[in-house]
Structure 1
Amino acid sequence: MDNCKANKCIECTVTQCRNHCETSNYCALDRIRVGTHEMNPTMDQCTDCLSFQCK
């Protein structure tokens, strides 16, 4: 995302996401939605950024 307005409150290293700022490891969204793919999440690996959009 060129000319991205980085949200310094949301760090992100997922460069495959449409909302990732190309020149820095931040998200361009005002807010993100975090969810889980597990019925009983117990580790950080059980959570997902539901705002992810593939480039």
Structure 2
Amino acid sequence: MPQGNSHIGCNVTECRHHAKTVQQCSLSHIEVVKHGATATTKESTDCGSFERA
């Protein structure tokens, strides 16, 4: 089981980097990406580190 990073909360259990036993990401850092030139809402951003489990 991957160990969670207490600084990165995550509830996307479909991600390869989800810690499984806690609602955290197992990566030491993540990349947040935007969909366009300017991000104006949280819906215009995503976790670029996501990988399907």
TM-score when normalising by structure 2: 0.91
Runs of 4+ in 1 over 2 A off after TM superposition: none
Q: Matches of residues 18-33 of structure 1 in structure 2 within 5 Å?
A: 18-33=16-31
Q: 1:39 deviation in Å?
A: 2.0
Structure 1 gaps of 5+ residues are none
Identity score, percent = 38
C-alpha distance in 2 between matches for 1:51 and 1:29: 9
Structure-1 residue corresponding to 2:12: 14
Structure-2 residue corresponding to 1:45: 43
TM-score when normalising by structure 1: 0.89
Structure 2 gaps of 5+ residues are none
C-alpha distance in 1 between matches for 2:32 and 2:38: 15
**Cα RMSD after superposing both structures:** 0.8
